[in-house]
Amino acid sequence: MSDDQLIRGVNVALRPAVPDDRRQIFDWLFCSDVTHAMFGPPHYPERPIPPPEKSSDDYASYYFDGSEPRFGRCFLILVEGSPVGQINYNDIHECGGRKRVELDIWMRSESLCGKGYGTDALNTLCCHLVEQFGVEEFMVQPSARNPRL
């Protein structure tokens, strides 16, 4: 992938995810040391970790192939060219005459949390969505039970 496809932040770059990234991205969510912050016991006993074959069903192919950018897109968060996490936006829609979108983010490892990469990635993606789509409102909905809060 060429450098001109990167969206640059202060310390991170966002690279549009491709279909070959899908498994890795969902392994970080469901099979890493950050999984406990989003799924399964002890914090989320009612949200069991899905089996690998079902783990990415919520994300349509356009998140990884760019075919429907208004419906959503995943990006790898890169630091010095290496992936440290994933950030995505969902369906861009209008509410009260303003374009809004929900964002989601997770890191590949607990050791990469708390370093400012997530904040930089969120700011970078928000600026991109303002420029590309005129988005005015952004939503991130972490659970109050997330131990990182």
* pLDDT at residue number 61: 94
Q: How confident is the model at residue 57 (pLDDT cuts 50, 70, 90)?
A: low
Which pLDDT band holds residue 132 (cuts at 50, 70, 90)? very high
Rg (CA), the chain: 15
Tell me the mean pLDDT in the region 131-142: 93
Domain borders along the chain are 3-139
First to last CA, the chain: 34
Q: How far is CA 98 from CA 81, 120, 133, 141, 145, in A?
A: 35, 24, 11, 19, 30
| pLDDT, the chain, mean | 89
pLDDT-derived band of residue 29, with 50, 70 and 90 as boundaries?
Answer: confident
- CATH code linked to domain 3-139: 3.40.630.30
